[in-house]
Amino acid sequence: MSKIQEALTELRRAPGVKGGALVTADGLMVAQSLDPRFHDEAVAGLTSFLLSTTCKSLADGGMGTCERFVLHATHGRAVFAAVEESFLVVLLDQFADFDGCKAEIDVAVQQLRRSSRLQ
């Protein structure tokens, strides 16, 4: 198993985490460990849409780029963190202890950054 996959599998074990994936900015799935209810292609495509839209609007306004985006919805949450040229996507249920998961997400981001640089 690659280091990237290992990091995602480890992250998935955190309470409330329903899946993790590493997606490139143009919507390609690098690796994933997602709950079967989420389709990996949909996650990759929608993540690319959301983050490219967000980053473009920020860049157009001269505000820089998006490093992290935490999205809360009625039945779940999603966290997106920039990892080099890609994004880590973490899907959580609405009852997840977000503060508890934060540390695990940060660890995964660090591991993914290291692995991305090595590849």
Partner 1 sequence: MHLIQRMKIWKELKRLERRAQQEPSPSTFVDLGQVYINLDDAAKAMRVAQDGLALFPDSVELLKLRDFANRSKLKTDVADLAAKLQKTPSAKGYRELAGLQLDLGDAAAAHATCDAWSVRFPGDAGPWLVLAQSRLSNFYRDLSAREGEEAVRCLQRVLSVDAANARGHRLFGELAYRIGAIEAARKHLQAIPVDPAEPEVQAMLRQLSVVQELGDDITALLREAEEHGALPNAPAIPRGGQGREEGMGRIRDALAHIAELAGVRKATYIKGSRALVKGAIRDGKDSFLRVVRVVAKAAHRFARRIDIGNFNKGVIDGPFGHICICSYGEVVAAVQCDQGAATTEILAELQELVAGSLYMAGVES
Which spans of this chain sit near partner 1 (rule: CB under 8 A)?
37-38, 42-43, 46-47, 49-50, 53-54, 57-58, 60-78, 91, 94
CB of 84 to partner 1, least distance (A): 16
What residue has token string 């899946």?
19
CB of 15 to partner 1, least distance (A): 17
Tokens for 84, please give them: 């080099």
Strand duo 17-24 + 86-93: pairing: antiparallel
Query: 3 vs 24, which CB is nearer to partner 1?
Result: 24
Query: 8 vs 91, which CB is nearer to partner 1?
Result: 91
CB of 116 to partner 1, least distance (A): 20
Sign of the dihedral defined by the CA atoms of residues 47, 23, 112, 13, in that order:
positive
Cα 106 to Cα 117: distance, rounded to the nearest angstrom:
17
